[in-house]
C-alpha cells in the first residue's frame, strides 16, 4: 500500500511510528508545564520540528517573566543590569527544560526549575565575587535603599532593639542579618559569603530576627 | 509610614496579575528594612508557582526566550549518539503521555 504524504517526513522518509497530533496555540497555552514538555517531546519523536519549536516557544516565553523577576530579586543590589538578569534567567530555563528532556531532572518540573533558578543565581554571584575588579560601578539611582546601620533609619528605640537582638544571636546568624537585612545583599550572595548557609537557612534566620525585632519593639511600647 | 508585608504582597500580586512591571525590588524598597526578607520570601513563593505568561509573538521575536528556544530546538533535533543509552521516556520510568497519546487527553 502506498504511503500517504502525511506519513512522510519533509525529506521523504517514513515518519516514526509514533502517534502525534498537532495542537493549536490556544490548546498549548492551557497545558500544564509537564504536559507541554511531553507534547514537545512527542513532536520531536515524530520528527515534527515545527510543532516542537512552537511548543517550546510557548513554554519558554511563558516561563520567562516569572523566572526573570525571581532572578532580579535574587541578584539585585544595583550592580547587575537587565541583560545580566535575562542571561541568568534564560540559562536557568534552558537547563531545566534540557534536563526534563534528557530525563536528568528530579521531581515535578516547576520545582526543578525553581531549584535550578536558585542555583543559577547563587553560581552567578559566586562567579562575580571571584572577580570584583570587573564589577561595574553602580548608579546611585539604581541602588535600592539600604539599611546599613540602625542610625541610618532607626529611631533610638529601633536602634536599641536592633542592638539587643543582634547581641543575642550566634555570630554566623548575626553575620547573615548584617549582610542580608542591614546591607540589603541578596540571599544568594549571603550564601556565598557565610560558609554553610543555604537560602533556606537565610530565610529562617531572618524570619527569627524579624520576630525578635517585633517582640522587642512591642515590649518596649510607645 | 511603611506598608505592612501583607498589604505589599497583595499589591504585588495585583500588579503582577494586571501585567504590570511587578518589580520585586521596587516593592521591597517600600517595606520596613526588617520586613524585607519576609516580603522577598513571599514574593518569591508567589512567582515560583504563578501561571505562565500568555504567548505574545511580538514580545517573543528577538527576545532572550527566542534564543533559548533556538538552542533547545537544536539540541532536540540533534542526532543521538548511538553509543549512549537512551534515557527513560519519563524520569520516573512511567511512560510519558506524549508517547502513547495526546498529553492533553491525560488532564
- Residue written as cell 541578596? A186
B interface test, pick of A16, A32, A42, A204 with most B CB neighbours within 10 Å? A42
CB contact, 8 Å: B87 with chain A? Answer: yes
Residues in Cβ contact with B87 at an 8 Å cutoff, skipping those fewer than 6 apart: A102, A103, A104
Question: Bigger pLDDT: B99 or A217?
Answer: A217
Question: Bigger pLDDT: A160 or A64?
Answer: A64
State yes or no: pLDDT of B28 exceeds 50. yes
Range of lowest pLDDT (A60-69, B37-46, B70-79): B70-79
Give me the pLDDT at residue A133, please: 53
How far apart CA B73 and CA A200 sit, in angstroms, is: 34
Band the pLDDT of A46: cuts 50, 70, 90.
very high
Q: Do A104 and B87 touch (CB under 8 A)?
A: yes
Nearest chain A residue to B34 by CA distance is A210
Shortest distance between the Cα of B11 and any Cα of chain A, in A, equals: 16
Range of lowest pLDDT (A138-147, A161-170, A190-199, B58-67): A138-147
Band the pLDDT of A167: cuts 50, 70, 90.
confident
Shortest distance between the Cα of B42 and any Cα of chain A, in A, equals: 10
Give the rounded distance of the alpha carbon of A128 from its chain centre.
17
Q: Give SS3 for B28.
A: helix
Give me the pLDDT at residue B82, please: 55
Q: Do B103 and A104 touch (CB under 8 A)?
A: no
Give me the pLDDT at residue A132, please: 52
CB contact, 8 Å: B85 with chain A? Answer: no
Nearest to A61 among B60, B106, B107 (CB): B60
Q: Do A90 and B43 touch (CB under 8 A)?
A: no
Range of lowest pLDDT (A40-54, A77-91, A176-190): A176-190
Give the tens place of pLDDT for each residue, A66-109: 999 999 998 866 678 899 999 999 999 999 999 999 887 778 99
Q: Which residues of A68-98 are buried (b: 16+ CB within 10 A; e: fewer)?
A: bbbbbbbbbbbbbeeebbbbbbbbbbbbbbb
What are the beta bridge partners of residue A8? A14
Question: Within a 10 A sphere around the Cβ of A154, how many other Cβ atoms?
Answer: 17
Band the pLDDT of B83: cuts 50, 70, 90.
low
Give the tens place of pLDDT for each residue, A114-157: 999 999 998 888 888 776 555 444 443 344 433 333 334 445 56
Chain B contact set for A145 (CB, 8 A): 29
Q: What is the ipTM of this complex?
A: 0.75
State yes or no: pLDDT of B70 exceeds 70. yes
Question: 3-state secondary structure string, A97-119?
Answer: HHHHHHCCCCCCHHHHHHHHHHH
Give me the pLDDT at residue A10, please: 47
Residues in Cβ contact with A209 at an 8 Å cutoff, skipping those fewer than 6 apart: A165, A169, A173, A177, A181, B34, B37
State yes or no: pLDDT of B74 exceeds 80. yes
Shortest distance between the Cα of B78 and any Cα of chain A, in A, equals: 10
Q: Do B52 and A33 touch (CB under 8 A)?
A: yes
Question: Bigger pLDDT: A98 or B81?
Answer: A98
Question: Bigger pLDDT: B33 or A49?
Answer: A49
CA nearest neighbour of B2 among A205, A163, A158: A158
CB contact, 8 Å: B36 with chain A? Answer: yes
Q: Which residues of B27-49 are buried (b: 16+ CB within 10 A; e: fewer)?
A: bbbbbbbbbbbbbbbbbbebbbe
Q: Give SS3 for B4.
A: coil
Give me the pLDDT at residue A140, please: 39
Amino acid at each position: 500500500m502506498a504511503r500517504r504524504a502525511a506519513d512522510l517526513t519533509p525529506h521523504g522518509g517514513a515518519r516514526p511510528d509514533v502517534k502525534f497530533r498537532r495542537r493549536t496555540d490556544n490548546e498549548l497555552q492551557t497545558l500544564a508545564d509537564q504536559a507541554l514538555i511531553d507534547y514537545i517531546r512527542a513532536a520531536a519523536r515524530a520528527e515534527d520540528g515545527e510543532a516542537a519549536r512552537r511548543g517550546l516557544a510557548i513554554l519558554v516565553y511563558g516561563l520567562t517573566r516569572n523566572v526573570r523577576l525571581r532572578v532580579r530579586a535574587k541578584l539585585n543590589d544595583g550592580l547587575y543590569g537587565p541583560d545580566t538578569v535575562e542571561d541568568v534567567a534564560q540559562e536557568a530555563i534552558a537547563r531545566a527544560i534540557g534536563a526534563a528532556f534528557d530525563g536528568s531532572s528530579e521531581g515535578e518540573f516547576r520545582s526543578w526549575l525553581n531549584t535550578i533558578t536558585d542555583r543559577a543565581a547563587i553560581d552567578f554571584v559566586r562567579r562575580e565575587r571571584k572577580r570584583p575588579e570587573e564589577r561595574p560601578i553602580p548608579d546611585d539611582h539604581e541602588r535600592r535603599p539600604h539599611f546599613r546601620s540602625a542610625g541610618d533609619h532607626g529611631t533610638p528605640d529601633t536602634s536599641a532593639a536592633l542592638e539587643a537582638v543582634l547581641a543575642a544571636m550566634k555570630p554566623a546568624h548575626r553575620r547573615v542579618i548584617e549582610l542580608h537585612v542591614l546591607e540589603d545583599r541578596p540571599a544568594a550572595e549571603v550564601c556565598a559569603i557565610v560558609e554553610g548557609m543555604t537560602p533556606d537557612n537565610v530565610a529562617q534566620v531572618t524570619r527569627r530576627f524579624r520576630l525578635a525585632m517585633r517582640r522587642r519593639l512591642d515590649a518596649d511600647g510607645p | 509610614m511603611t506598608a505592612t508585608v501583607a498589604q505589599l504582597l497583595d499589591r504585588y500580586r495585583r500588579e503582577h496579575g494586571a501585567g504590570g512591571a511587578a518589580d520585586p525590588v521596587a516593592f521591597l524598597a517600600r517595606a520596613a528594612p526588617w520586613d524585607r526578607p519576609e516580603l522577598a520570601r513571599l514574593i518569591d513563593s508567589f512567582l515560583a508557582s504563578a501561571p505562565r505568561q500568555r504567548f505574545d509573538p511580538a514580545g517573543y521575536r528577538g527576545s532572550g526566550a527566542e534564543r533559548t528556544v533556538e538552542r533547545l530546538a537544536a539540541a532536540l533535533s540533534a542526532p543521538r549518539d548511538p553509543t549512549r543509552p537512551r534515557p527513560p521516556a519519563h524520569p520516573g520510568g512511567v511512560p510519558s503521555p506524549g508517547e502513547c497519546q495526546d498529553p492533553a487527553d491525560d488532564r
